[in-house]
Amino acid sequence: MTFFSKVIGTDGKQAVLRATLVVSVVLLFVVLSDMQMKNNRFIQLQGYKPLNAKIRVTVVHMKTPQTHVWLGHSNEVGKAEFTESENIGGGLDIQKEGPSSEPDGVFDEPTETNTDLVRISQQADFMLEARFKDEIPVGNTSNPLLPLTQVFPNKMKTFVFRRNIHCAYYCKLLLRSGWTKQRHTQPTPELLVLRPGQLERYNTVNDFGVNLFGFGSSCIGGGKATQLWCREQFALNDGCSFDDLGVQPPQWDMGVKDSCLKFFAMAMLPENKEKIWISKRTMGFHGKGIQLWKGPKELRKRFSCRRNYGSENARYLVQEYLEKPALMGGHKFDFRTYLLVASMKPFIGFYHRGFVRRSQHAYDKNMSNLRDTRAHITNAETQSEDNHFFSFQELQEILTRESGFDSNFMNETFEPAAMRASNFLLQSAKRLGKHIPGRSQMFALDWMLNEDGSAHLLEANGNPQISTYPSNVQLTPKIWLDMLDVVHKVQVEPHLLPENFSVKAKTTIGGWRLIYNELEEIADNESYHPCKHKQYIAEKHPLYSYEHWANA
């Protein structure tokens, strides 16, 4: 007879009673273990902590309105032991109160450096609330335009690919370009590359944690409703309307009652009843869920303004459809640029040109078939890859040949406008988030061009695809290798940056153009104001107009 049979027994009633007893004992063990964990919780540290560093973090319970403060110390490299101190009604600053892991003189104590990387392993019901004190970033004492070193890897150009799974495209690219892959257990790599299954939660390049801690990255590349709210609030706080700035076409959040009512009040006006409108899921991607509508009647049937929808997953944005786009051989197109936040403390941003996508079907100016996604939606998954991607130079040649655009339109008109809008997005996130050293994130911005030459920002993506593109685009793999070079120099070896590391000097690393250096702004005693967006253009502002980038 097996041990299990001896415990349970063979008699029916006896078996039930003994089984109940066994289950009760197991449940009691689980409860006691959980109670113990509440007073002795181990937290994985993915930063660069010394032994015995005292750390205080704020932990917010996701299922109950409770906030806990955990106090503890690091007991070995990569782990820390915390004990619950007290329940409080709000968050506290996260601080490290012990010895610094950085060289003497780099940071004053107590420092917040890397404490935001504290994470609770395997505890889905909890999240960390990172709140940092606002500080003015300090540059290098010998050159105020250069940042201080932020990341101190034990070996330069090393990375960890989390989870022992197949090495994806970017991982292979790193290996081919001289980077060294470390075991997951090795401390202080320079980069931490994630497995593909986590792309929705993290950046595709590395686990810098921008989406989780401090930086308001969702304002740039989060849900479309969140992006809209951030930009509207950014302008409103400065005393103007976001719609009046011309950064993006007017949009209405149909999941917010007031916004929905405003849209229909405007759409029902006689002059708007024949207009074409486009609706998008606020959390959609690859053109999924996009629809075109003629007039407001059908939209009335689809959307109700009776209540607010809390979740972005259940919400849509509506905006006026651009009925007179510039065309390539009779086909509609859009194009992509990239925005790299190379550092958060200090804030440093770069711009890079991307590629052009042309729709598969010819554009119908009479708008007779609004359901033909291959004619109207350039980023739809149904588009064919054949003759789909083009370079900026190819687009310029076609626009000049077919539509009479100036031969320098892309360099002199579009790209300065794209840089202005990219900086606007950067600033909107900078004001809402906290600044943490050692972080970066790359975003993709999608644009549409009207036949009159006006460029319209459609949306931004916080998890753009890191892959290879056709050779005619002349983009990959150089753009990704240059991006690594930018982040490495800014965060690990800033002494390798140009001495005049500034927007005014048109600093470029590879194909990445510097569009914002917070240290330069401080040195020039400047401060960005969103409501001066058009004024900066008129006065050719040296930091915010980017007119000097023409023909660069």
- Structure confidence at residue 284 (pLDDT): 63
411 domain residue, yes or no = yes
Higher pLDDT, 245 or 373: 245
| pLDDT score, position 74 | 35
Assign 21 a pLDDT band (cuts: 50, 70, 90).
low
Q: Which of 17-31, 121-135, 246-260, 303-317 has the highest mean pLDDT?
A: 246-260
Tell me, yes or no, whether 360 lies in a domain: yes
Residue, of 435 and 59, whose pLDDT is higher: 435
Number of domains in the chain: 4
CATH of residue 413: 3.30.470.20
Between strands 512-517 and 95-96, the pairing is unpaired
Q: Which of 206-210, 227-231, 462-466 has the lowest mean pLDDT?
A: 206-210
pLDDT at 28 exceeding the cut of 70? no
Higher-confidence residue of 94 and 57: namely 57
Q: Helices then strands (H, E): number in the chain?
A: 14, 22
Domain boundary pick from 260, 288, 321: 321
- Do both 122 and 58 map to the same domain? yes
Hey, which of 173-182, 375-384, 501-510 has the most confident mean pLDDT?
501-510
Alpha carbon 112 to chain centroid distance?
22
Residue 140, pLDDT > 70, answer yes
Q: What is the largest CA-CA distance in the chain?
A: 92
Show the domain range for 280: 250-321
**For 317-339, what is the mean pLDDT?**
88
| DSSP conformation letters of 6-20 | HHH-SSHHHHHHHHH
Domain presence at residue 137 = no
Lowest-pLDDT range of 159-163, 218-222, 392-396: 159-163
- Would you say residue 186 lies in a domain? no
- 372 and 230 in one domain? yes
Out of 28-32, 51-55, 334-338, 434-438, which region has the weakest mean confidence (pLDDT)?
Answer: 51-55
pLDDT for 367 equals: 62
Domain match, 264 and 369 both: no
Portion of the chain with pLDDT greater than 70, in percent: 61
Q: Report pLDDT digits (tens) over 341-355.
A: 999 889 999 999 999
Tokens 């009633």 belong to 13
Same-domain pairing of 352 and 465: yes
Report the pLDDT value the prediction gives residue 300, as an integer from 0 to 100.
Answer: 81
* pLDDT band, residue 51 (cuts 50/70/90): very low
> Is 299 found in the same domain as 393?
no
Q: Has residue 529 got a pLDDT over 50?
A: yes
Q: Is residue 291 situated within a structural domain?
A: yes
Q: Quote the Cα angle for 329-447-417, to 5°.
A: 110
pLDDT per residue over 499-515, tens digit each? 999 999 999 999 999 99
Question: Do 103 and 228 have their domain in common?
Answer: no
Say if 212 falls within a structural domain: no
Give the tens place of pLDDT for each residue, 352-363: 999 998 888 787
> What is the β-pairing status of strands 158-161 and 191-193?
parallel
Q: How far apart are CA 338 and CA 411, in angstroms?
A: 15
On the question of pLDDT at 468 being above 60, the answer is: yes
Shared domain check, 519 and 406? yes
Asked whether the predicted pLDDT for residue 372 surpasses 90, the reply is: no
Task: Say what the pLDDT of residue 17 is.
Answer: 66
Task: Name the β-bridge partners of 460.
Answer: 445
Residue 513 pairs in a beta bridge with 351, 508
Q: 224 and 115 in one domain?
A: no
Same domain, 48 and 30: no
191-205 core/surface letters (b: 16 or more CB in 10 A; e: else)? bbbbeeeeeeebbbb
Q: Are residues 32 and 91 in the same domain?
A: no
Buried b (16+ CB within 10 A) or exposed e, 307-319: eebeebeebbbbb
Cα–Cα distance, 135 to 184 (Å, whole number): 33
- Could you tell me the two tokens for 289? 């869920």
Give burial (CB, 10 Å; 0-12/13-18/19+) of 528: buried
- pLDDT, tens digit, for every residue of 386-416? 678 999 999 999 999 999 999 999 999 999 9
DSSP secondary structure letters along 74-129: EEETTEEEEEEEEEESS----EE-S--SSPTTTSPSSB-TTGGGEE-TT-TTEEE-
Spatial contact of 329 and 394, defined as CB atoms under 8 Å apart = no
Residues 34 and 44 in one domain: no
> Beta partners for 135?
none
Whether 366 and 380 share a structural domain: yes
| Residue where one domain finishes, among candidates 107, 128, 149 | 128
Domain annotation covers residue 405 = yes
Least confident of 42-56, 205-219, 291-305: 42-56
* 376 SS3 class: helix
- Better pLDDT: 5 or 292: 292
For 264-286, what is each residue's pLDDT tens digit?
889 888 888 888 888 888 776 66
- Sheet strands side by side (includes 316-320): 251-253, 316-320, 276-281, 291-294
The CATH number assigned to the domain holding 261 equals 3.30.1490
Q: Treating both helix axes as pointing N-terminal to C-terminal, what angle do 415-432 and 224-237 enclose, rounded to 10 degrees?
A: 80
Respond yes or no on whether the N-terminal peptide bond of residue 110 is cis (omega within 30° of 0): yes
Q: Is residue 183 part of a domain?
A: no
Of 128, 144, 170, which residue sits at a domain end? 128
